Amino acid sequence: MACKLSPAAIEAFGLLLIVVSIFVVTDQNGWPTAASIPPLVGAYLCIAANNQRSWLRFNVFQQLGLWSYAIYLVHWPILAYLAKFFSQEMLSTAFLVIMLACIFALGAIMHFTVERSRAYGYKFLALYLILLGGSFGAASADGFPQRVQNQLYYWQFATYVDGPFPRDALAHKLGNSSQQPSFLLAGDSFSRHYISDFIDRGFTFIAITQPGCYSAHSYYVSTPDAVPEYYKNCPLLYTDLLREAKQHPDIPIIRAQRWGEEYDEVIKRNQTGKEERVPMTTEVVQQDLYGMAQDFKGHDVYIILLPRNYDQPYGNRQALFNLKLLDNTVSNAIARRIIGNNSATIDSHEVNRILIATIEDIQKRGLIKDAQGKGSMHYIDTSPAYCHGPQGNECELLVDGVYPRFDPTGHFTWAGSIAPNSLILKEIGLPQGRVRTDFSPRDVPHFDD
């Protein structure tokens, strides 16, 4: 005889699916992948069970259910406001409690004053049609042009510009081919987000870059989503950098990278060609820095720290101002206080601390100096270019109040890279070049290979 499950058992299984999903579903494997099925099925089972004796029928849960859609509607504007005026360092427990209380309170108010009244008469219909027509009108005009000067070119400066430049982990001369290069720039996509402004300033330099590629003295790896034909070139990035440094011994080397957190595993360089995969740890970063000091003796090397407001210790890889990230940041901040941090990767703050400590040790011990006493290694923190205040936590996430400083993946936009580039050039002792102070079209960045 078939076993018939009780409503309580069905509901319990549905709740179990939902609870498990809290721990296993992340931004990387969530909607719209198969990982979104368990919480959906769990919610369906809880409803379908229709358990008359469920504790979910308690009045407090019933009220939250009634208010849920209104809460969903009001939470987004609140997060948008917080994203514009507050930084992640302010997401304390008290701050989160107050914010959640505001969201629930406003949701309840909207439920009783709007949703529950259901006063959908002709006035409501007329207002709806007016707003709908206004939305279509604004969309057809590309928004409100008076908000942004040179609206046509807004996205040229408001995004991470990556497309025009080679991305094959090989050396390319960018800028004016008739000029001598001023510096070497090497790394993954976190080196590429400086390129547009460097070219716009009139610099000529050698770029050796590949998105999603970690390539250093002892280890290398490409991220799983790297373009297949570029994957095989990742080990060559460091090799090309060594070759170009020997050919240009007197120009500074700038190394910018997602140090650590993006790469869960790395491949140890082995003379026999046999791959040995090991976890990415702080020791890996340290070994590669000491290896760079050995390989680039006599050169001036500048390591760019991960930028402030690029914070990803719990799987978030987007700038804080991005609304979706703030939504995730709030969720993760709450989760950290409930279940703690079980992340296996090293976060940006820890990486920066390791970079600073290791570079200071290399410089103090003179490990990068050659027999003539030449050579140095320094770190550059770009955050002072746009973060201020007593603790450096007040960060300007919009340029001219309009252009986002970061794109949704945590890269500097073209407009956002201008201030950091000015700081970098000052640190390495080069002139500022032609600094863009307006966002009207000028020479589009190009490269001569």
Residues above pLDDT 70, as percent of the chain: 77
Residue 356 confidence (pLDDT): 95
pTM over 0.85? The answer is: no
Among 266, 243, 198, 172, smallest CA distance to 428 is for 198
Copy the structure tokens of residue 106: 């406003």
Kindly report which listed range (137-151, 227-241, 316-330, 384-398) carries the lowest average pLDDT score.
Answer: 316-330
User: Which run of H or E residues covers position 268?
Assistant: strand 265-268
**What's the whole-number average pLDDT of the chain?**
80
> Does the pLDDT value for residue 243 go beyond 80?
yes
Segment (H or E) for 206: strand 205-209
Residue of 217, 259, 257 lying closest to 239 (CA atoms): 217
Q: Which of 3-17, 134-148, 300-314, 333-347 has the lowest mean pLDDT?
A: 333-347
Q: Other CB atoms closer than 10 Å to residue 167's CB: what's the count?
A: 21
Per-residue pLDDT band at 318 (split at 50, 70, 90):
very low
Tokens 């950290």 found at: 336
Whole-number pLDDT of residue 41: 92
Residue with structure tokens 């970098």? 424
pLDDT at 420: 96
Q: Say if residue 434's pLDDT is above 70.
A: yes
pLDDT of residue 5: 82
Q: What is the mean pLDDT of residues 332-343?
A: 43
* pLDDT > 60? residue 341: no
Per-residue pLDDT at 207? 96
* Phi, psi dihedral angles at 297 (to 5 degrees): -55, 135
**pLDDT band of 437, cuts 50, 70, 90:** confident
Q: Are strands 394-395 and 387-388 parallel, antiparallel or unpaired?
A: antiparallel
pLDDT in tens, 154-211: 778 888 887 678 888 999 999 887 899 999 999 999 999 999 999 999 999 999 999 8
Is the pLDDT at 24 greater than 60? The verdict is yes
Over residues 68-84, mean pLDDT: 81
Q: Greater confidence, 217 or 149?
A: 217
Per-residue pLDDT, averaged over 109-113, amounts to 86
Residue 248 has pLDDT above 90, yes or no: yes
pLDDT at 300 over 60: yes
Confidence grade of residue 117 (pLDDT, cut at 50, 70, 90):
confident
Say which residue, 428 or 348, is predicted with more confidence: 428
